Amino acid sequence: MSARRAFLAAAATLALMVTTGCTFHVGEPDEADPVFGEGNSVRWDLSRPIEAKTLGLPDDQLVILTVPDDATVSLTLPTGTWAGRTEEMTVTTRKGYLDAVDLFWTEPNGQASADRMVSDAKLLGVDAARVASWAGSAKWAETADTNRMRHEANYNGRNGRVSTAIKPGMAVGKGEGTPVRLHYLFYVRNVVEKTEPGSR
């Protein structure tokens, strides 16, 4: 993992650490990552509990993975499968189970990021009209005259027991074609902790 990737992934986890209250671990650049191994793809079924030990992960940590070039992720949700590429990836484990998956990658501009979010909206259970509006919002941010350094949004959704969120962010005032950083969150605690009395 390059120094830039490590820095960006570490920065992205700070807010997550506040809410999870767990320790975190950064993959070593010279070690095969326990999740990706020697390959460049991950395929997980998030519709059922996944034990951390089966992934080679600690029980209660936020782990910044060593993501290979051209990495892809495929996540089975209760009503379908989401697939895409990722540049950075973190996972959070809790009480021996996978608790959350966070994916980060960059789209070339506001329209491209809006198009990607709209294409994922139905599956992730977010409002397609709201994420489509990001294109106009990003266009404003490209040349905005403001003291704000970043322009960000947060779109929450749900697919069955899997909670989701899409969080685009971009620099303000950098001109036409400013890249947009996308953060997709898949939160699976409700898959592990069933709501029926007496169940886990």
Tell me which residue has tokens 């079924």: 45
Tokens of 65: 């993975």
Q: Is the pLDDT of residue 25 over 90?
A: no
Q: Taking Cα atoms as reference points, which of 43, 88, 82, 54 lies closest to residue 69?
A: 88
Judge contact between 44 and 50, C-beta under 8 A.
yes
C-alpha distances (whole Å) from 132 to each of 111, 122, 128 are 9, 12, 6
| 5/67 Cα distance (integer angstroms) | 9
| pTM (predicted TM-score) | 0.83
Which position has the higher pLDDT, 5 or 138?
A: 138
3-state SS, residue 110: helix
Q: What tens digit of pLDDT does each residue of 65-118 get?
A: 989 999 999 999 999 999 999 999 999 999 999 999 999 999 999 999 999 999
d(C-alpha 162, C-alpha 48), whole Å: 10
d(CA 194, CA 200): 6
Question: Which pLDDT score, from 0 to 100, does residue 13 have?
Answer: 45
